[in-house]
Each structure stands twice: as structure tokens, then as C-alpha cells.
Structure 1
Amino acid sequence: MTINLFDDSCWASLRPLTFTRPVADLRIGILTIAEKWSKYLNADFGFQTQDYLSLKFVSKGDANFFINGSICPDENLIYAIHKLNIGETLLKGEIIIAYSADVYDLELAKSLKPIEYIDEFIRIVFPNDIFTHNGTELKKDFELLTKGRTSAKLSATNTFLGDNIFVEEGATAECSIFNSLQGPIYLGKNSQVWESSNIRGSFALGDHSSIKMGAKIYPNTTIGPHSRVGGEINNAVIWGYSSKGHEGYLGNAVLGQWCNIGADSNNSNLKNNYAEVKLWDYEQEHFRETGLQFCGLIMADHAKCGINTMFNTGTVAGVSANIFGSGFPRNFIPDFAWGGAHGFDVYSISKMFETAEKVYARRDLPFDEIEKNILTKVFELTSDLRRF
């Protein structure tokens, strides 16, 4: 089977996280949404996404199944899609879950034979949905990745509460505490847990990532591949290639790729009056009610903050935002903004490229024209937000 995962209206409501990727490339649980579908269906996958993203996130020309990239798969969905015939569309109300045809065309999908899906599923509509549903998806991914397999072993210097832990080859840990009594713990290939770390599941550490000494990791947290973290982290998802290497609190949060959190930086995730948290909504261009009492930081790709940065409850930092200085910056920091509570200027695309080239070089990766063109397009799309 070959599938293409398509963006629907959720691509717009998930900005700024989706400015640089299709919805199905978002990480929730251990895997990205696309990786989940691929493993469940044993299928090659591609993307049907925005034109300016399509050179990096390519579509599969031979696909005959098209699946909504905002929907997380489960056993019931997989069963329903296996039963789907050419010329049929699987629906939940007005939501197109999947359809089978020779071409990608959502108008065509609406005209195909409808098959109503009666069960519930997890759909990622807003950025805060990622950390809200991360615990559920983490447990599902853990079962998907470890079923029928044998875990590697960790050093006897560690303390284990419960045995619901899976360790991939090359992962190491010393003198740390792993509590899997309330949820599973997954350590990816060649990951490292340094001495005196305290980890309570559900938790996932991606391939080639590391946790620094004395870290405190609370449940429903995912650290993606090639990342380094320390300090205190609770119910947060870090996509990958990002760093929060020092003391400071990160909670009820989502960080994209190539982000860096300066030493002793913190985000608030609860308002002093315990009121509902609002988040900036790119589609509505004002703050949206989340229905959440706990909501921290949403930080898009390439965003960074200096030491001792203080983020208020429900802060959204856009792509390539660069935040520094004393005081609390405002709750919405536009893409390519440079500054802090004292005010913002435009972070020029040329200066941003200079930094990105150095960051990529540290990982022995090229900062190529495809990446530059995507970021240039995001810079153009968000120009109206930078009226400083």
C-alpha cells in the first residue's frame, strides 16, 4: 500500500507549527502522525501539502489511498481503512478521514460513496492538542513499536520502579530513577540519560537524544531525536534537533525543530487567578479560548530565547522568533521577531540564514535552498504581523 497524507483546514489552525511542515509531520507520542500511519498500514507515505512545502515533503505519485494528516490512527481506524474500496470515502460527519481513488482531489472525495465512521478518534486541530493528547498517543506508540520485541538492558546502577520500559540498542543510562508504574518509558537508539535524572512515565526519548544530569521529567513528555534537555519538563513535546539543556521549567508546551531555550528560562502554565488560558490563533488573528487551565509555551521551528527568559501563561512564539531581555514578553511573539519585553524589531531573513547555517553545520547537515525557500515564504506570509 502507498498512501499520501493530506492537509485539511487544520493546517491553518495549527500554525505556527505547520508553517514549516505538513500536519502529518507533527510529532505526538513517540512518532510523527505520518510515521504512525506508515507502521500501522505497513505502507510507504508521501504528503499532499502546501505548494511551498512540497519540494521537501513530496507526494507519492502511485498512491491510491489518501488519509487526513490531522488524524491519529488506531486499530479501529486501520480496520475501517482496510475495508475501504476504490471510489469510497470514510467520513466522520463533515470530516474526510480517508478515501481511495487514483488522484488527490478533495472535491472528488466528497462525491464518492460515503462510508460513515462511528467510532471516536484523536484529531489534532490546535497546537495545544499536541500536549493534551500526548500521553494517550505515547502509550499507543509504545505498544506499536515494542510489541513482540525484546528490550535492551540498562546498567544496574539505575533504580527501576516498575518494568514497563523499553530500551533500544545503544541507549545508555547511569545512576538514574525510572518510574514506569503509571506509564511506559521508551529510550530510543543511542540515547543517553545522564546521572541522577528522575523520569516518570509516560515518557519517550528520541534517537541520539540526551538528558543532562539531575533532570526532572514528569509524565506525558516526549523528547524527539537529536535533542538535549535538562532542568524540569512536564507534559511537553519537543519535535527534534532542539535544546533545553539547562535549569528552568517547561510545562504543557510544544517546541518545534531547531529551537533553543536559554539557561534558567521558564514558562508559566497556570494563571495566577486559575482562569482559562487563551492562545494566539493565526486564522482568527486574535486570542482563542482553549478551555484549558494549564497551557504553557508553543514555540515554532528555529525560535530561540536567551538566558532567564520568562514566558507568560499561553505564549505563542512564531517561526524564527528570537527572544531575550528582562521582563515578560507579550503572549504572542510574531514570526521573525527580534527582541523582548522592551520591544521588537524585524529579524532579517539574511541574518536568520547566517545563524541557521551555523546551527545546521553543528549537526553536519546542509542548510540548503529548499530550507531557505520555505523560510523565505514564511517570512513573506507573516509580514503583516510584524508591525513594530
Structure 2
Amino acid sequence: MKFLLVDLDHPAGRVLSRFEPVFAYRNGIFSDIERIRRLHPDAVPVYLHPDARLERLFADRLGLVPFRADQAKVDLTAFSSEHAHTGADRRSFVETELQSLYDDVEFSADVVALLDDAPSRIAADLFLLNREDFEHRQAAQLIGAKQDLWIHQSVEVPPGVVFDTREGPVVIDERCSLTPFTYIAGPFYAAPDCHLDNVRITGGTVLGEGCRVGGEIENSLFGRFSNKHHEGFVGHSLIGNWVNLGALTTTSDLKNNYGEIRLQLPQERFPTRASSFFTLETGKIKFGSILGDCVKTAIGTMLNTGTVVDAGSNIFAGSPSSYVPPLSWGITGHSYRPGRFLEDCEKIFARRKQVVHPTMQELVSLLSHLS
């Protein structure tokens, strides 16, 4: 079976996919690529991206077959153009020209919709979980049905932790740790090795592997190894991998006039500080922030409604503007030197016994326009 993964390169999704494709972003218990591999373990996934360089690098990162290697004779001129922000033209091209070449085709989601989809995905993904490793444990403080509480056998639950399954399942995966005075309402999933310390979490929230969280979180998705370990509120937000939120970092997810939230996004795939921008209507009155991979915020950082901070940025000395370009240093327009950024990544990753992927240097070069 050959499976085609089509990256429609939605502008908002670019912020979350600077160093790996959006198919790798966990949007339920699993990411799209994990879900496909569990459902179709013998499938050969082929990956298509409008940019040939990103297609090659991302395919290498996830062990996929690049489309241009699989179908070298196909003319992708119409698919690769950047004129459509919605991805509708790209989708139409694939459905017309490429669908018949593969057994199945999956398109990347518009990331703005991921928060709405997360609750149902968490519930549906339970059927793909290795459920024999989990227990419907009778916690001392449980509101709702016991059968909706899934605790991995390796996890200890101390007194003072409250689980609320009335709105959906709560799933705590292996080697997670919890401290007293933690409240978790479903639908919720914590991937392996998460630390939940005196945190209040409400529905539709996903924590990726190795996250460390405290304070208050509502309906948000976190990538791998991201930290929000102190007080502060994160709501209706998309947080990438290796993000570190300083103490009291807080997102606004609702305008005080209840108006619909708009995002300011760059036109270019690899934006500069002189990029032109367009307005993306989310159609939502509740939406917080999008923070790309390896973003860091200083203590007390306030993120206004609809703030977008692109990958590799280090935010300090005030509140950022509605869009912050990748590899920004502070909020004054200075750049985070690529070499310094990679050196810092190596140090940070090593603290979690992880290594920087070999593709990252080239991807950082694309973002910093050094290639």
C-alpha cells in the first residue's frame, strides 16, 4: 500500500513546521504520521511539499519517501506556486492529477482547526492505544466515569490529584509524574515522561512527550519537551516542540469586545523582517497564540490575542507584536545568530538526553537566508 501525505503548506501551519512537517505534530493521542503507521503498518508513506528542499529534508527526518523521488516525471509547477493561501488550488491539483497514483491520500490540516478537533481525536485514538498497559484506576478524587480514566501502570497518583472525566477521557501515559493539587479535566492526553506539577488543565489539551507544566492550561496542544512549569495561563493555543515559557507568561485568548480573532502572517514561506503580511480570519472568538519550535519567553511575558511567534525566537524586554519573525532576538528586530541558536539547541536538547537532528542546520539556514 502506498500512502501519499500532501502538505498544503497553510501559512499558519508553517510556524509549527519549520523543523519537521505538520504531520508530526501531535493533535490527539497521536500525530497524523503515528496514526497512519498504526492503522497501516505495511504502508509506504510518500511525502509531498510545495518546496522541494523541505520535502527532501522533512522526508529524511521522518523516514518518508519524497514525492519527487517517487514520481520524478510529474510536473508540479501548479502545485508549487505560492499564490493560494488556503491551499484549495493545491488540493484540487492533487485530487485531479495525483490521486490515482496512490492507494490513499491524506492532506495536512489547517492548524487553526486543530484545537476544535482535539477532543474528538483524543477519544477516537483510544482505539489505537496499547490499552493493556493502562488501568481504569479508581482515583481518590474522580469526578465522572471510572472507565474514562486511563492511567498507565507505571504512573503513581499521589493524594490531592483530581481527575474530571465528565466531558471526555483523561489519559496519562507511561512514566508521567503528578503532584498534589493538580486538576485535570478531559478530554486530555499526557504523553510519556510528562511532569504535571500543581497544574489546572481543562478540556481538549494534549501534552507531547517530556512536557513540564504548571499554572493553568485550557484547550491547548503542546509539542515535545516544552516547558510551562510555572504560574501563568495558556489557553486555546498551539505550542511547538522545545518551547520554554518563562514564569507568568500568559496568553490572552478572548478579546474584551468578543470580536473574531485575526492572525497577521507573512506572505513568504521563509519570511524576512521586511516581509509583506496578510490577515488570516480564524472565524473564532477564542484563540490564543501560535508559538513555533524552540521559542523562549522571558518571565512575565504577555501574549496578546492572536499573537504568532515564529520558530527559534527568544522573546524578552516586553510584549511581542502580532507576528514575530523566526530567529528573533528580543522584540527590537535583532536576529538570533544561527550559529548561536544551534549551539543553544545542542545544550538544551542534551539536558533531556536528546540530540539535534542532522537536518536542523540546513533548515535553520533556510530560515536565516544563508543558503
* 1:193 is the counterpart of 2:178: yes
Structure 1 Cα separation of the partners of residues 41 and 305 of structure 2:
41
Closer, same or farther: CA 306–132 of 1 in aligned 2, 3 Å: same
Q: Distance in 2 between matches of 1:361 and 1:189?
A: 21
Matched, 1:332 2:323: yes
Question: Which residue identity lines up with residue 316 of structure 1 in the other structure?
Answer: V
Contact 2:137/2:149, CA 8 A, preserved across alignment = no
Greater shift, 158-167 or 297-306, is seen at: 158-167
What residue is the counterpart of 1:306 in the other structure?
Answer: 298
Residue pairs, 1:220-299, within 5 angstroms: 220-283=204-267, 285-299=277-291
Instruction: Say which of 161, 164, 173 aligns to 1:179.
Output: 164
Q: Which has the higher contact order (CA 8 A, sep 6+)?
A: 2
Aligned partner of 1:15 in structure 2 is 14
Aligned counterparts of 1:203 and 1:315: Cα–Cα separation in 2: 24
SS at match of 1:172: coil
Match of 2:28 in 1: 29
Question: How much identity, in percent, do the aligned residues show?
Answer: 25
Structure with a larger share of its residues in strand: 1
1:347 maps to amino acid? Y
Structure 2 counterpart of 1:248, one-letter code? G
CA contact (8 A) 1:316 1:333 kept: yes
Q: Could you say which residue in structure 2 is the equivalent of 1:321?
A: 313
Matching residue of 1:81:
none
Who is 2:196 aligned against? 211
Q: Is there any run of 5+ residues in structure 1 with no aligned partner, and where?
A: 67-91, 99-105, 384-388
Partners of 2:170 and 2:189 within 8 A in 1? yes
Decide which moves more: 13-22 or 279-288: 279-288
Is 1:379 aligned to residue 368 of structure 2? yes
Deviations 1:206-241 (A, max 9, x none): 11111012x100000000111111100000000111
- Name the aligned partner's letter for residue 348 of structure 2: V
What amino acid maps onto 2:296 in structure 1?
K
Q: TM-score, normalised by structure 2?
A: 0.81
Tell me if the contact between 2:349 and 2:356 (Cα under 8 Å) persists in the aligned partners: yes
User: What is the root-mean-square deviation of aligned Cα atoms in Å?
Assistant: 3.2
1:54 aligned onto 2:59: yes
Quote the Cα distance in structure 1 between the aligned partners of 2:90 and 2:352.
43
Q: CA deviation at 1:24?
A: 1.6
Matched, 1:162 2:162: no
Distance 2:103 2:346 in 1: 48
Instruction: Give the aligned length.
Output: 337
C-alpha separation between the residues in 1 aligned to 2:9 and 2:34?
Answer: 18
Contact 2:11 2:265 in 1 (8 A): no
The equivalent residue for 1:102 is none
Instruction: Name stretches of at least 5 consecutive residues in structure 2 with no aligned partner.
Output: 50-54, 72-87, 269-276
Equivalent residue number for residue 346 of structure 2: 357
Letter in structure 1 aligned against 2:324? I
List aligned pairs for 1:50-199, cutoff 5 A.
50-60=55-65, 95=91, 109=98, 125-145=109-129, 149=132, 151-152=134-135, 157-163=140-146, 164-175=148-159, 176-199=161-184
Counterpart AA for 1:329? P
AA of the residue aligned to 1:210: H
CA 1:377–1:172 in 2, change beyond 3 Å: closer, same or farther?
A: farther
**Gap change, CA 1:321 and 1:150, over 3 Å in 2:** closer
Partners of 2:352 and 2:284 lie apart in 1 by 37
Q: Tell me the SS of whatever aligns to 1:354.
A: helix
Query: Structure 1 length as normaliser, TM-score?
Result: 0.78
